[in-house]
């Protein structure tokens, strides 16, 4: 009889433990929230922090199952504005244009703290300063902003912009373009500039941020919609905490982070990715107090630059165009 009572007592004591384990299992099996994150272009080192957040489990820890996609016919701006994606990569100029057209996009983090854009040309092109752009052919994608920047820099050095031949092309290979069809082009130094070193091809360049402080704008940025912020504020907060961890990881572990990007995009040149990541990682945060931080002054200056050149018709409310609310304080 004592033996029976003992067994009953043991089973009774095990019931709460069993219930706890069942509850723990149910908590663990709670479905992850599906998130679509759309890139601005093909995968590159601007995106490494997002891939790192996924690979290192930061998204999962925050309760997300994140699908990172490339844009198709529609841009990241359009997909997010239409509610087909929750987050994505864009640029300060795109957000500015979108806001002017009442497209409620919001920049919630600067991926890179300073503009890495440059005008570049092979060293054998007989270009010493932008004044020498006269009589040369520029290959670009046909953006009014792009042309305005080119005009501004050319004229700063005393050049006549009307004498610059502008070729609109969708070709992305700087080296192929400047060998055949053009003399110079717009590049992102962290990719094409590093590629020139990897390929042992000599180029000269001028960084836009060094020519005009108003051109030191945020490119790229992470964006979402006003609706997402107003209706799912906690989701945005948790998502950005995970993304921030991803970029912090990429900053501190550039070579490991490069391998994460290569795993996701094995078609990329391995040496280029590693060298680009080593160059870009310290520039994610750079001189900002935390990764992702955006200055109001930067938004205001660039908006004024666009307005003064009639590239936008009205001065947008920059306080609605960006926010630092979701950047974790370290």
Say whether pTM exceeds 0.95.
no
Could you say which of 215, 248, 269 is where a domain stops? Answer: 215
pLDDT at 329: 85
pLDDT digit string, tens, across residues 58-115: 999 999 999 999 998 899 999 999 999 999 999 999 999 999 999 999 999 999 999 9
How far, in Å, CA of 88 to CA of 108, rounded? 10
Cα 63 off chain centre by? 22
Let me know if residue 169 belongs to a domain: yes
Let me know if residue 292 belongs to a domain: yes
Task: With cut-offs at 50, 70 and 90, classify the pLDDT of residue 26.
Answer: very low
Task: With cut-offs at 50, 70 and 90, classify the pLDDT of residue 330.
Answer: low
- Of the listed ranges 1-15, 51-65, 230-244, 290-304, the least confidently predicted one is 1-15
Phi, psi of 223 (to 5 degrees): -125, 160
102 and 126: one domain? no
Token pair belonging to 146: 């792009």
Could you say which of 181, 215, 249 is where a domain stops? Answer: 215
Query: Whose CA is closest to 174, among 117, 135, 111, 259?
Result: 117
Task: Give the mean pLDDT of 188-204.
Answer: 97
CATH at residue 178? 3.40.190.10
The burial of 179, by beta-carbon neighbours within 10 Å (0-12 exposed, 13-18 middle, 19 or more buried), is given as exposed
Let me know if residue 238 belongs to a domain: yes
265 and 178: one domain? no
171 and 201: one domain? yes
pLDDT at 55: 98
pLDDT digit string, tens, across residues 138-164: 999 999 999 999 999 999 999 999 999
Let me know if residue 6 belongs to a domain: no
Checking if the pLDDT of 237 tops 50, the result is yes
135 and 263: one domain? no
Could you say which of 179, 195, 215 is where a domain stops? Answer: 215
Phi, psi of 246 (to 5 degrees): -65, -45
pLDDT at 272: 98
224 and 107: one domain? yes
Cα 144 off chain centre by? 21
Task: With cut-offs at 50, 70 and 90, classify the pLDDT of residue 171.
Answer: confident
Strand 33-38 relative to strand 64-69, pairing: parallel
159 Cβ neighbours under 8 A, 6+ residues apart: 130, 131, 132, 133, 134
96 and 243: one domain? yes
Q: Give me the domain span that covers residue 80.
A: 33-112+218-321
183 and 231: one domain? no
317 and 256: one domain? yes
pLDDT at 34: 98
Give the neighbor-by-neighbor strand order of the sheet with 33-38.
Answer: 64-69, 33-38, 87-90, 221-225, 105-110
- Total domains, the chain: 2
């Amino acid at each position: 009889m004592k033996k029976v009572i003992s067994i009953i007592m043991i089973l009774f004591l095990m019931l709460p433990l069993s219930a706890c384990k069942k509850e723990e299992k149910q908590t663990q099996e709670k479905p992850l929230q599906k998130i679509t994150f759309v890139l601005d272009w093909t995968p590159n080192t601007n995106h490494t922090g997002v891939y790192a957040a996924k690979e290192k489990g930061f998204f999962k820890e925050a309760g997300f199952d994140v699908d990172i996609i490339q844009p198709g016919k529609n841009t990241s701006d359009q997909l997010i504005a239409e509610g087909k994606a929750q987050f994505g990569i864009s640029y300060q100029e795109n957000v500015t244009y979108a806001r002017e057209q009442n497209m409620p996009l919001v920049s919630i983090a600067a991926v890179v703290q300073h503009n890495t854009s440059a005008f570049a040309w092979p060293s054998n092109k007989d270009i010493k300063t932008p004044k020498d752009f006269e009589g040369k052919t520029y290959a670009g994608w046909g953006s009014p902003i792009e042309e305005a920047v080119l005009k501004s820099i050319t004229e700063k050095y005393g050049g006549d912009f009307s004498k610059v031949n502008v070729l609109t092309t969708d070709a992305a290979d700087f080296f192929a373009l400047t060998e055949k069809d053009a003399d110079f082009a717009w590049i992102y130094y962290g990719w094409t500039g590093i590629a020139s070193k990897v390929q042992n091809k000599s180029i000269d360049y001028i960084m836009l941020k060094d020519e005009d402080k108003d051109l030191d704008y945020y490119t790229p940025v992470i964006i979402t919609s006003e609706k997402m912020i107003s209706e799912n504020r906690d989701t945005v907060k948790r998502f950005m905490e995970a993304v921030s961890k991803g970029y912090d990881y990429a900053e501190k572990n550039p070579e490991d982070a490069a391998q994460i990007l290569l795993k996701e995009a094995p078609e990329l040149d391995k040496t280029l990715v590693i060298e680009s990541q080593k160059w870009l990682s310290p520039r994610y945060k750079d001189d900002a107090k935390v990764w992702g931080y955006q200055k109001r002054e930067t938004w205001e200056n660039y908006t004024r630059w666009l307005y003064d050149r009639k590239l936008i018709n009205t001065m947008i409310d920059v306080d609605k165009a960006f926010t630092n609310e979701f950047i974790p304080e370290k």
